[in-house]
A and B are shown apart, each in its own frame.
Chain A
Amino acid sequence: MKIEIHNGRLVDPAHGVDRKTSLYIAAGKVAAIGEPPSGWHPNRVIDASKLVVCPGLIDASARLREPGFEYKATLESEMQAAVAGGVTSLACPPDTDPPLDEPGLVEMLKHRARSLNQAHVYPVGALTVGLKGEAITEMGELSEAGCIAFSHADAALADTQLLLHALEYAATFGYRVWLRPQDAYLARGGVAHDGEVATRLGLAAIPSCAETIALDAIFELVRATGVRVHVARLSTHEGVARVRAAKQARLPVSCDVAVHHLHLCDVDIGWFDAHCRLVPPLRSTRDRAALRAGLADGTIDLVCSDHAPVDDDAKQLPFAEAEPGATALELLLPLTLKWAQEDKVALPAALARITSEPARVLGLTSGHLGAGAEADVCIFDADAYWKVERGSLRSQGKNTPFLGLELAGKVRYTLVGGQIVHETAG
């Protein structure tokens, strides 16, 4: 299959490319850019003259809900949502049921994902058995099975001695560890940011120091062990400042923010809107501003969807009882574009946060469109508006705080390994 993506605006942040040109794809790879290879006879020509052509998006956190939570979502539904959102690679956290703590589970997930022939799935293994925080997992076996990193997802890990040992063990073999910075005790029972809104609504609160204390502990452990740590889901302005300082001190750390936290804050909870029940909690406008600025200046390496499909029954409950999470795979691109447009971040810099930067943090060779690269491509209309509605989302999870909102940025084509896996009419 030879595909010519004709005359699009090619934005390839990894190579500093942003120009009108054509992309020639053959045998699943980028065969040429600009000038066609000799004897070029494409099977398909995509007119991209009004479209942006960029590397397929890489989402550093998307829950597919398999195994164990198939009533919330299935691999089939979520992989369709991924490619509809231009996402060609995604990392899935280990908080399935059972958690991804055994090689067999990881192999099965990889096998199921491969057979669907859509986005690439990169499992993140559980750092401790059953995510219970008691014993470290067989990280070697899990790595061989396909885990790209190890994390504790959102499960509490209060035992810092165990965390130290887990990091030492990971450092021994060069494994990457992803940690969500939240002190288990300070966050206990909390469902909202400790501020004016939680006070007014009478919601149990999580103070910002739950994040900063955890960050301080993580950075100390990084210093002690030398392990590479990725900090998942920053939520506070104090946290952004700490990551900035850690990077200045040349600690081997990276970090991300969930796309919701770029646009929403605790005020959006309104009258107990369970769509805004997220983990970490939506914090203040000041925190949101710092997260946006941190993403722009590179303190925050990447933005992820933190996709978490939740069924309606689990959302139609009083705020604190509602299950946290929101569907977001299909919103990662438009919400990143919205941030870039509002904060005057250039398109290549914005797309880097969802392509080349996550590729670097995940340790993938994809995320760019140089000659010879895997042809994972996202082709989108940056000016096309669409309305976020239950019916317009492919994910089985229909719950998002952005329901009803019109967003710019419609994915027209998604290619994985040179195959068109998603296309919609312009």
Chain B
Amino acid sequence: MRNPQLNGAGELQHLLTLEGLPPEVIGRILDTAVPFVSIAERDVKKVPLLRGKTVFNLFFENSTRTRTTFEIAAKRLSADVINLNIGVSSTSKGETLLDTIDNLVAMNADVFVVRHSQSGAPHLIAQHLSATGRAHIHVINAGDGRHGHPTQGLLDLFTIRHYKRDFHALTVAIVGDVLHSRVARSLIQGLTTLGTPEVRVVGPQTLLPTAVEKMGVHVCHDMREGLAGCDVVVMLRLQSERMKGALLPSAGEYFKHYGLTADKLRFAKPDAIVMHPGPMNRGVEIDSAVADGKHSVILPQVTFGIAVRMAVMSILAGSQSPS
């Protein structure tokens, strides 16, 4: 099956995953995002690229942070933004996902930003729009289950490129709950596509998915080994429901083995950057001294995230409908 996010001309039609996205397309998104960073520093933080367009933020799973960044990005592009927290409205009344979509299409949506707890939900929506002759409506995956979070992956790539320039000589460690992490999957796919020679995942076996090495990463269970010589350290959020039970005995034991402290960070290169997709659990996956320290680029990530989402939306709005 062809990846449904590219149209017949190879242009980005939807952004559903970073998997299989050509490096030129990723490069174009990152390049497009550069001038949007400076827009945010101006007095008038708006450009008219999406004027007259309507962006629906469809959040079937709650997320204040991601929804807000998409909302800001769309508003800075002059789009009209409608936020729908569907997790607590129609599906609980028995309406199916695709019925919800059809209703919003009837309200003349141009872009759907979709967050859903199930892997593959944005693909389902994109395929439904194609199958019903409405492929001019764009779908942006804002996080689906454990599968993907492509705009987060892109902002991570943007951040790495901003600080490290070239992907071809980098060692990147992704630490923590890779099993449940859509952020990790998207970042791994983006890094390998851009030619990063060494991507490591670090964590206990209970939090690393089967055959993860087939995604092009090296598996480490030890932080010293995993962080050795790293240019970039990406810490993943540990959901509270994972902290005690079958996967991990306690948050304390997790922090002891895998929490990022200044001591452990010494294994990485002296100029290593530390990233985190947020929201952080201080004292669980990351120590405050590191989160707020000189290696941390966690807040610039947030700023870049808006620019990257502006870039994605402006590219999608400018693409042609598939013929």
Contact = CB atoms under 8 A, between A and B. Distances in A.
B96 A202 contact: no
A205 interface: yes
A271 B120 contact: yes
Contacts of A313: 96
A270 B124 CA distance: 12
Interface string B144-181: 11111000000000000000000000000000000000
Given A194-B210, A202-B147, A316 B215 contact: no
Contact of A318 (B1, B97, B209, B211): B97
A270 B2 CA distance: 9
Contacts of A204: 146
Interface in A310-330: 313, 316-321
A201 B96 contact: no
A200 B215 contact: yes
A196 B213 CA distance: 9
Interface in B204-220: 209-212, 214-215
A321 B116 CA distance: 12
Contacts of A207: 210
B145 A317 contact: no
A273 interface: yes
A50 B107 CA distance: 58
A199 B181 CA distance: 10
B76 interface: no
A69 interface: no
A320 B209 CA distance: 17
B105 to A, nearest CB: 15
Contacts of A339: none
B120 A272 contact: yes
Contacts of B3: 271
A198 interface: yes
Interface in B48-64: none
A321 B210 contact: no
A321 B118 contact: yes
Interface residues of B, number: 30
A195 interface: yes
B207 to A, nearest CB: 13
A196 B211 contact: yes
A279 interface: no
Contacts of A200: 19, 185, 214-215
Given A200-B19, A270-B1, A271-B1, A195 B211 contact: yes
B101 to A, nearest CB: 11
Nearest to A268: B1
A316 B98 contact: yes
Contacts of B145: 202-203, 318, 320
Contact of A273 (B1, B118, B119, B209): B1
Interface in B227-282: none
A194 B205 CA distance: 14
A319 B118 contact: yes
B118 A318 contact: yes
Nearest to B182: A202
Given A271-B3, A271-B123, A319-B118, A198 B209 contact: yes
Nearest to A195: B211
B179 to A, nearest CB: 9
B212 A201 contact: no
A317 B148 contact: no
A230 to B, nearest CB: 30
B212 A271 contact: no
B60 to A, nearest CB: 10
B121 interface: yes
Contacts of A194: 210
Contacts of A273: 1
A323 to B, nearest CB: 13
A5 to B, nearest CB: 43
A274 B127 CA distance: 12
B295 interface: no
Contacts of A196: 210-211, 214-215
B224 interface: no
B139 to A, nearest CB: 13
Contacts of B144: 202, 318
Given A196-B210, A271-B1, A272-B119, 16 more contacts: A199-B209, A199-B215, A200-B185, A202-B144, A202-B148, A203-B119, A203-B120, A203-B146, A271-B3, A272-B123, A316-B98, A317-B96, A318-B116, A319-B118, A319-B120, A320-B119
Interface of B: 1, 3-4, 16, 19, 96-98, 116, 118-121, 123-124, 127-128, 144-148, 182, 185, 209-212, 214-215
27 contacts: A194-B210, A196-B211, A199-B212, A199-B215, A200-B185, A200-B215, A201-B147, A202-B144, A202-B146, A202-B148, A202-B182, A202-B185, A203-B145, A204-B146, A205-B210, A271-B16, A271-B120, A271-B123, A272-B124, A313-B96, A316-B98, A317-B97, A318-B97, A318-B119, A318-B144, A319-B119, A320-B145
Q: Give me the 4 closest cross-chain CB pairs, A-B, nearest first.
A: A272-B120, A202-B146, A202-B147, A318-B118
